[in-house]
Amino acid sequence: MEATVQSSVSSDTVRAIAQATDEPEWLAQWRHEAWDTYSATPLPDRVVHLWRYSEPEKFLPDRITPLVANGTAPRTDAPDDLPGDPAAVAVVEDAVLQSCWIDPAWRDAGVVLMDLGTAARQHEDLVRAHLGTAAGAESGKFEALNAALFSGGLFLYVPRNLKVDKPIHLFQRASADLAGLFARLLVVIDEGAEVTLFDEYSNGGDHPRVLANAVVEGALLPNSRLSYFNVQRWGNRTKSHARQRFLVQRDASVTTVNIGLGGQYSKANLGNVQQGGNAQAEMIGVIFGANQQHFDNHTEHIHEAGNSFSDMDFKVVLEDHARSVYTGLIRIDLEAPHSEAYQENRNLMLDPTCRAESIPELEILNEEVRCTHGATVGPIDEEQIYYLRTRGLRESEAERLVVEGFFGPAMDRIEDAGLRNRLWSYIDAKLEGRS
């Protein structure tokens, strides 16, 4: 199955995407409204601190052709290379949903995993209630662009009180050269439900030049649980803009783990909103930059209700001429007393030519809270390297152990052993280039 492309980005492109999969009129109208918002919204001002270190022009859809799904039905049988023992797997290649398989037991239990356009027809009430509520066109210029141009989007729904004890795996791949991949994922976890979701972005082909614009949004209804793992392994000629946001209702909890390893120029806005009492959000970040890679990450935990909790642990390792920028916001509203929030960003420099910026922020509107934040930027400890070398290790081996120890506390917080080992394998593969 081949993806089709459009010759330019305009309102005609929006119309072509809507028609390609015969999506309902209300969704097509939603797209066009998003395009109008995108067209009317100026580029982010570099004076604004969230764009101080990154160039917004790099994420404009110039000289690229947006990939458009062709409406072909995906394969529904189990893929030959199943990752472990999953509950479901979806593979999107160049905006075409190639494979979408759900274990019959979980399908019969009510788990829904399908392309977003089909879901808009078959589960209209659910999609209309939640699409764009966490990350809609009003969130920013590039979020509006995604809302207008997304193709090959996915929808996941876990029904009430269902505890899915096997992970669900999603794969987004881009192999077409000079292509724009506008991926979108909508997740709805119903009351009392639980699931683990593994979401991976990567390139195929011979180092294609790709503009990737991804939006992940979700709603966690009361007393639900979501563990979400995002792995970014784009190729070295991919520019990536990502938005991720979950709305966490009463007694619900979300754990998000973001692993950033690939891409040429990447910016991500990652956040959670604690909307109900006793809502909990934990965020873990692992970034490893090399060569000329650029990573710009912004995190936010917004406490709208009292007795809510958030914890953020973001670890960055850089080598060569790589650069990382981190800004993190904790906001506790006036109506959110007795809340707790913690934020930590640590940066480890392996070479004197790399650079990291760290800007933690607190916006506390209620005095009955507990908040802490910390940030460090520093070189690798030469005493640690010397100690390991006296034990017979080569310098590259010693550095490798220090890096693994630096990432270790964050990785150890990932409960699923299979997922944790898989993520370590990606990090180890990048460390091999250091040896």
CA atoms within a 13 Å half-sphere pointing along the CA-CB vector of 146: 32
Under DSSP, the state recorded for 103 is -
β-bridge partners, 101: 89
Compute the distance between CA of residue 393 and CA of residue 15 in angstroms, rounded to an integer: 60
> Does residue 265 contact residue 236 with C-beta atoms inside 8 Å?
no
What is the reported pLDDT for 435? 55
104 vs 69: CA distance, rounded Å: 26
Residue 29, burial from CB neighbour count under 10 angstroms (0-12, 13-18, 19+): exposed
Hey, which residues does 5 pair with through a beta bridge? 67
Rg for the chain, CA atoms, rounded: 21
Whole-angstrom distance, CA of residue 53 vs CA of residue 359: 12
Q: Kindly give the confidence (pLDDT) of every residue in the chain, 435 residues in length, as a single tens digit, with 9 standing for 90 and above.
A: 444 444 368 999 999 999 888 899 999 999 999 999 999 999 999 888 899 999 999 999 988 999 998 878 888 887 777 788 899 999 999 999 999 999 999 999 999 999 999 999 999 999 999 999 999 999 999 999 999 999 989 999 999 999 999 999 999 999 999 999 999 999 999 999 999 999 999 998 888 999 999 999 999 999 999 999 999 999 999 999 999 999 999 999 999 999 999 999 999 999 999 999 999 999 999 999 999 999 999 999 999 999 999 999 999 999 999 999 999 999 999 999 999 999 999 999 999 999 999 999 999 999 999 999 999 999 999 999 999 999 999 988 999 899 999 999 888 888 878 888 888 898 888 887 665
Q: Distance from CA of residue 313 to its chain's centroid?
A: 15
CA–CA separation, 412 and 410 (whole Å):
5
Q: Which residue type is seen at 305?
A: A
Alpha-carbon gap, residue 132 to 118, rounded angstroms: 17
Closest CA to 314 of 347, 272, 341: 347
pTM comes to 0.95
Please, is 430 exposed, middle or buried when counting C-beta atoms within 10 Å of its C-beta (0-12, 13-18, 19+)? middle
Question: Which amino acid, residue 359?
Answer: I
> What are the extents of the domains in the chain?
4-275, 381-435
Contact (Cβ atoms closer than 8 angstroms) between residue 115 and residue 17: no
